[in-house]
Structures are given as structure tokens and as C-alpha cells.
């Protein structure tokens, strides 16, 4: 199909036709089918940019259609339409994303022009706004190996990006989280999801953390030597076996003249703690020395609750998977609210990460969430820009 196109599958011709007309009135080339075999035939012929699929159909239902689409590695953007309640729509959306399909949203029937326009944009003009992407690693087939990682550590190829956190109520900056990036000489920027697990498996995580801590504390002490802003550092559960960890980080704070209560350690439960008793000791000592402790990705670890009860956390971070879905999913909103209430009843600072839209931000603020972090506020940025970002954000006009 030339231009922007939509293929509509709905067993009810009246509904299918209506969607087709709405799409055409938005400037799209639109085709409508009511039978699965016609759908798959047209799909091959037209390679449409968008597909809308009715969930409830007599022959193959929408979920089965999406399984077949996943098997064909379909790259069209998919919109699920249905008259069913949001719980079912949410589950269908989740299942489709887990199958690797590109779901752009769900619309409930009766379908309005506004709802469709919101999801697909304008057929003649531009695409709906797509957020600016992180630098993408040219490293898809690249195996991160121990030797490569050791070399990268030796050559100091790790850099840090800093992502702001703000106070929900006032909008004022609250601090930054340091996020590691590997600037590979040939492959460009490699993101942490690729190398942190390998560093953990190969025993290089402590050396990596040491470099990250030194670099970020040096940056932080230069950029914000005094004041209320905090620096959050990610710490792997695997590192909680090193008896010297607490003292070495405390010494580092002294080296850079930073008060330890300005440092927040975010503990992600990517791997089970090797030695639960030793980790408890270390975590307690961190608190005793003044550091803040945050339980990261809360709600995703299999024992988040146990860890929360056992370890002396001062902050709870609602996992971004719930926050990013808040707008579409009632379940996610319920979980967010419960985690924030739980955090507050335990006297913890509550942070939501992955805030991507203003509606979610307002929802969080309404719940009394303390801090927010996410693309809506700012993407991770180089250290040099963080200061001017902060100054701008503090300016009265903001």
C-alpha cells in the first residue's frame, strides 16, 4: 500500500466498515475484512502499517490471530479493538507484547474518530510523536565475554549517564541516578542490560562498580558539592559479599568531601543474594554509616516482600513496568497505589520510575508519591548537561 495504511479485521461488517471509514477520513488507505483467511491474504499483499483486530470473533478469536501473527513475525503496528472490559483488553495487550508484537494500543467499542486518531496519528501527515531513542547499540550479535569486559575495564571504557529524579509535589530536582554505558571502540554504546548480567556471572561486577562509584562521586562532588540533591547508585546483590564494600564507599565519600547521606544505594534483585546473612550485615552497616538504601524494581523480584521486611531500606522504587503501563492498565494502577501506600506506612520515601506521560505523573502525585523519574522528566543525560538541566529546572519560570 502506498502511503499510510490500515487493515481492519472485525467479524461484524457494520463495525469493520465504520473503522474503515474513520481511518479513511483520517487520510489512511484502509481495507476491511471479516474473515481470517481474507485477513491473512491481504496482510501478505498489502503489508499494512497498522492492523486493528477485534478480540471476540467466532472463527479465530483475536488472541489466536495474534499468536499466528507472532509466528509470522508480523511487524505491523497492532490495535486491539473490543467491547470487552478493560481487564480482558489489558491481558490481551500484555500477551501480544510478550509474543513480541508491536502493540500500539487498545480501543473500546464503539470506536470514535478521536480514539483512533490518538493511536495512529494522521494518515496524510506525520506519525504520532515517537520519543527520541537512546543511542542504540550496534551490538545485536555481539557476545559480551569476560575477556572483552576485562579489557573494557582496563581501558576505562565505561561511562555514566545521569537521570534526574524530581519531587512530585513541587517539581524541584531531587537527585540523579548514575547509569552505566559501555562505549565500545567499534560497536558504539552498549547498554547495561547487555553487560551487567555478564559482569555478575564472571565476577567482574565489583571492579565495574568500583569504577562507576569513583567516576560518579567525582562528578557529583564537582557538579553539586553542597545541597540537598542525592546521587543514586545501582548495586548488584552479587556484590553484597564484599566485606570492604561499606568502608571503601565511605572512604570514597571522604575523598570527594561528600556526606554519605547524599548517596542512595539502589539494590536490584537481579540475582539472589549469595549470602543472606552477610548481606543483611552489610546493608545494616551502610545505614549505620549514613547511606540511604533503596529497593529497586519493587514488585518484580520473586521475594521483594521478604527483602523489604528483612533489610533496612529507606526508599522503595516502584518498578517501571507498572508505571509505564499505568495509563492503560487498571491492574498496574492498583499495584502502584498499593506499593506507595505500603512504602508510606513503612516510613519509606516512595519513587516511581518509568514515568513517560503527564497523566501518569498526575496520578502518582495524587497518590502522594514522593519522587518521580522517567522520560517525561528527562532521559539519562551526560554529566556535563546535568548541572544546566538542574539550574533550568530550578528557575522560577519552570
Q: Which residues bind ligand C2E (CB under 6 A)?
A: 163, 179-180, 191-193, 196, 209, 212, 234-236, 266, 268, 296-297, 320, 324, 353-356, 373-375, 380
81 closest CA partner among 120, 109, 102, 39: 109
* Residue 60 or 267 with smaller CB distance to ligand C2E: 267
User: Which residues have C-beta within 8 Å of that of residue 180, sequence separation ≥ 6?
Assistant: 158, 159, 160, 192, 195, 196, 208, 212, 234
The entry of Ca ion, ligand C2E, none near residue 292 (CB within 5 to 8 angstroms by kind) is none
The distance of closest approach from Cβ of residue 296 to ligand C2E in the complex, given in angstroms and rounded to an integer, is 5
Query: Could you give the 3-state DSSP secondary structure of residue 355?
Result: coil
* Residue 11 or 315 with smaller CB distance to ligand C2E: 315
For the chain, counts of helices (H) and of strands (E): 15, 15
Residue nearest to Ca ion (CB): 266
Cα 20 versus chain centre, distance: 34
The distance of closest approach from Cβ of residue 340 to ligand C2E in the complex, given in angstroms and rounded to an integer, is 17
The entry of ligand C2E, Ca ion, none near residue 380 (CB within 5 to 8 angstroms by kind) is ligand C2E
- How crowded is the C-beta side of 326, counted as CA atoms within 13 Å? 24
* Residue 109 or 181 with smaller CB distance to ligand C2E: 181
Residue nearest to ligand C2E (CB): 374
The entry of Ca ion, ligand C2E, none near residue 11 (CB within 5 to 8 angstroms by kind) is none
The entry of ligand C2E, Ca ion, none near residue 212 (CB within 5 to 8 angstroms by kind) is ligand C2E
The grid coordinates listed for 51 are 492492523
β-bridge mates for residue 22, sequence order: none
Alpha-carbon gap, residue 73 to 76, rounded angstroms: 9
Q: Would you list the DSSP string of 155-223?
A: TT-EEEEEEEEEETTT--EEEEEEEEEEEETTTEEE-HHHHHHHHHHHT-HHHHHHHHHHHHHHHHHHH
* Residue 16 or 380 with smaller CB distance to ligand C2E: 380
The distance of closest approach from Cβ of residue 116 to ligand C2E in the complex, given in angstroms and rounded to an integer, is 25
Alpha-carbon gap, residue 234 to 211, rounded angstroms: 12
Dihedral sign, Cα of residue 63, residue 65, residue 71, residue 76:
negative
* Residue 148 or 380 with smaller CB distance to ligand C2E: 380
The entry of Ca ion, ligand C2E, none near residue 375 (CB within 5 to 8 angstroms by kind) is ligand C2E
* Residue 61 or 159 with smaller CB distance to ligand C2E: 159
The distance of closest approach from Cβ of residue 149 to ligand C2E in the complex, given in angstroms and rounded to an integer, is 13
Binding site for Ca ion (CB under 5 A): 234, 266, 296-297
The entry of Ca ion, ligand C2E, none near residue 350 (CB within 5 to 8 angstroms by kind) is none
Instruction: Decide: 389 and 164 in contact? Cβ < 8 Å.
Output: yes
The entry of Ca ion, ligand C2E, none near residue 236 (CB within 5 to 8 angstroms by kind) is ligand C2E
Amino acid at each position: 500500500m502506498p502511503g499510510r495504511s490500515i487493515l481492519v479485521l472485525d467479524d461484524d461488517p457494520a463495525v469493520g466498515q465504520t473503522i474503515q471509514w474513520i481511518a479513511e477520513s483520517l487520510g489512511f488507505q484502509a481495507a476491511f475484512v471479516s474473515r481470517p483467511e481474507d485477513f491473512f491474504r491481504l496482510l501478505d499483499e498489502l503489508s499494512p502499517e497498522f492492523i486493528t483486530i477485534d478480540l471476540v470473533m467466532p472463527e479465530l478469536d483475536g488472541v489466536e490471530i495474534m499468536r499466528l501473527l507472532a509466528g509470522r513475525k508480523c511487524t505491523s503496528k497492532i490495535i486491539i479493538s473490543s467491547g470487552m472490559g478493560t481487564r480482558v483488553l489489558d491481558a490481551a495487550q500484555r500477551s501480544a507484547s510478550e509474543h513480541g508484537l508491536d502493540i500500539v494500543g487498545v480501543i473500546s467499542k464503539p470506536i470514535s474518530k478521536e480514539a483512533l486518531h490518538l493511536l495512529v496519528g494522521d494518515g496524510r501527515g506525520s506519525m504520532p510523536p515517537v520519543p527520541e531513542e537512546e543511542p542504540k547499540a550496534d551490538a545485536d550479535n555481539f557476545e559480551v565475554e569476560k575477556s572483552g569486559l576485562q579489557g573494557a575495564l582496563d581501558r576505562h571504557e565505561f561511562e555514566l549517564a545521569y537521570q534526574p529524579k524530581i519531587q512530585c509535589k513541587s517539581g524541584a530536582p531531587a537527585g540523579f541516578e548514575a547509569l552505566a554505558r559501555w562505549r565500545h571502540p567499534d560497536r558504539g554504546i552498549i547498554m547495561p542490560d547487555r553487560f551487567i548480567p555478564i559482569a555478575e556471572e564472571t565476577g567482574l561486577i565489583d571492579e565495574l562498580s568500583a569504577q562507576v562509584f569513583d567516576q560518579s562521586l567525582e562528578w557529583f562532588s564537582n557538579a553539586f558539592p553542597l545541597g540537598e540533591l542525592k546521587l543514586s547508585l545501582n548495586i548488584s546483590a552479587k556484590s553484597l559479599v564484599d566485606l570492604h564494600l561499606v568502608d571503601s564507599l565511605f572512604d570514597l565519600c571522604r575523598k570527594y568531601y561528600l556526606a554519605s547521606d547524599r548517596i542512595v544505594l539502589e539494590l536490584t534483585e537481579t540475582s539472589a543474594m549469595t549470602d543472606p546473612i552477610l548481606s543483611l550485615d552489610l546493608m545494616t552497616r551502610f545505614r549505620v554509616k549514613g547511606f540511604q538504601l533503596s529497593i529497586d524494581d519493587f514488585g518484580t523480584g520473586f521475594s521483594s516482600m521478604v527483602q523489604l521486611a528483612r533489610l533496612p531500606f529507606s526508599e522503595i522504587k516502584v518498578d517501571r513496568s507498572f508505571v509505564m503501563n499505568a495509563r492503560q492498565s487498571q491492574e498496574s494502577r492498583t499495584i502502584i497505589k498499593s506499593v506507595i501506600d505500603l512504602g508510606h506506612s513503612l516510613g519509606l520515601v516512595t519513587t516511581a520510575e518509568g514515568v513517560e506521560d503527564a497523566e501518569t505523573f498526575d496520578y502518582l502525585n495524587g497518590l502522594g508519591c514522593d519522587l518521580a523519574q522517567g522520560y517525561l522528566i528527562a532521559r539519562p543525560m551526560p554529566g556535563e548537561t546535568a548541572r544546566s538541566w538542574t539550574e533550568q529546572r530550578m528557575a522560577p519560570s519552570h
